[in-house]
Amino acid sequence: MSKVIKGGTLVTHDRSWTADILIEGETIAAIGENLKGDEVIDADGAYVIPGGIDPHVHLQMPFMGTHSADDFESGTLAAAAGGTTTVVDFCIPAPDGSLLEAWEAWDAKSKDKAVVDYCWHQCITGWNETIFDEMAEVVKRGVNTFKHFMAYKGALMVEDDEMFASFRRCAALGAMPLVHAENGDVVAALQQQLMADGNTGPEAHAYSRPPEVEGEAANRAIMIADAAGCPLYIVHVSCEQAHEAIRRARQKGMRVFGEPLVQHLVLDESEYQDKSWDHAARRVMSPPFRNKQHQDGLWAGLQAGSLQVVATDHCAFTTEQKRMGLGDFTKIPNGTGGLEDRLSVLWTYGVETGRLTKEEFVAVTSANSAKILNMYPRKGALLVGADADICVWDPKAGKTITAANQKSAIDYNVFEGVKVSATARHTLSRGEVVHSVGANAEPARGRGKFIRRDPFPPVAEALQTWKALTAPRKVHRDAANMPAGV
Q: Which residues of the chain form contacts with ligand URP (CB under 6 A)?
A: 58, 180, 236, 285-286, 313, 315, 334-335
Minimum Å gap between C-beta 156 and ligand URP is 8
Which partner from the list ligand URP, Zn ion, none does 86 bind, CB cut-off 5 to 8 Å by kind? none
Nearer residue to Zn ion within complex by CB, 19 or 311: 311
Nearer residue to Zn ion within complex by CB, 165 or 234: 234
Distance, CA of 125 to CA of 158 (rounded, Å) = 6
Minimum Å gap between C-beta 419 and ligand URP is 26
Nearer residue to Zn ion within complex by CB, 82 or 287: 287
180 binds Zn ion (CB under 5 A): yes
- Single out the segment in contact with Zn ion by CB under 5 A; choices: 136-144, 158-166, 174-182, 380-388: 174-182
Which partner from the list ligand URP, Zn ion, none does 335 bind, CB cut-off 5 to 8 Å by kind? ligand URP
Which partner from the list Zn ion, ligand URP, none does 75 bind, CB cut-off 5 to 8 Å by kind? none
Minimum Å gap between C-beta 463 and Zn ion is 27
Minimum Å gap between C-beta 99 and ligand URP is 18
Minimum Å gap between C-beta 289 and ligand URP is 11
Build a one-symbol-per-residue string for 293-322: x at contacts with Zn ion by CB under 5 A, - elsewhere.
Answer: --------------------x---------
Minimum Å gap between C-beta 398 and ligand URP is 29
Nearer residue to ligand URP within complex by CB, 282 or 358: 282
70 binds Zn ion (CB under 5 A): no
Nearer residue to ligand URP within complex by CB, 75 or 335: 335
- Single out the segment in contact with Zn ion by CB under 5 A; choices: 10-18, 156-164, 173-181, 219-227: 173-181
Name the residues that contact Zn ion, by CB under 5 A. Answer: 180, 313
